Amino acid sequence: MSLLEANRINSYYGDSHILFNVSIQVAENEVVALLGRNGAGKTTTLKTLMGVLAPLSGEILLRGHPIAGHKPHEIARLGMQLVPEERRIFGTLTVEENLVLAGLSAPKRLPLKEIYAIFPRLEERRKLNGKQLSGGEQQMLAIARALIRDASLILLDEPFEGLAPIIVQDLLRITTELAKAGRTILIVEQNVAAALSIAHRTYVLNNGHLVWEGTPETLKKSPDIMKTYLGV
């Protein structure tokens, strides 16, 4: 049984039909990349899975339990966390206050020392306000907030966007370590090479339709798919 399973979900923004019968599966301890051009429906998929946007039809199962139509905080308590593209950290709170606040409502909270072992840079900056952090440090904090809640599945929306290559490499290393430690990750990312370097499986969306699925190795050997749907 998959940790997360979405079957033929259809999502709308007002009268605009955005997702068309999208079906994806994420197994436990797996890293899955959801790729596509801007406007393909990737972020909408994550928001639908997390309950930010309710699907008009379709089924979403987390550990076999239906969650479609549940509120985001209810889904979060079941073990799924969304790290949004905007990061949404509290700029006027310190790094440590951001982490403590994120863990308050968690059914199980990881100790701060475990978070700092994964993100030593955050321990160095723990007394600084969120707005004083660099873009890469803010992204680390956004991921750490999800991790402190001991999330079984982390949804990452464009985690590498706008970051310097050296910071991207650091975040890739951290993401790889999280996966090796048994975390399950669904990542949406425009940096195709970065996403494929850590993914076990890949889905490709185009205009709200799922057009391809397979392994990163197979996708790399499919230049027509890469060019047509990813612009690579």
Q: What is the pLDDT of residues 141-197, one digit of tens each?
A: 999 999 999 999 999 999 988 888 888 888 888 888 888 888 899 999 989 999 999
One-letter amino acid of 97: E
pTM, whole model, 2 decimals? 0.93
Q: Give span(s): CATH 3.40.50.300, the chain.
A: 4-79+152-230
Mean pLDDT of 45-59: 96
Can you give the pLDDT at residue 224? 94
CATH (residue range 4-79+152-230): 3.40.50.300
pLDDT bin (cut points 50, 70, 90) of residue 1 is low
Mean pLDDT rounded to a whole number for the chain: 93
Say how far apart CA 52 and CA 127 lie, in whole Å.
Answer: 31
Distance CA(229)–CA(35), nearest Å, equals: 9
Q: Cβ distance 68 to 55 under 8 Å?
A: yes
| DSSP character string of 52-76 | SS--SEEEEEETTEE-TT--HHHHH
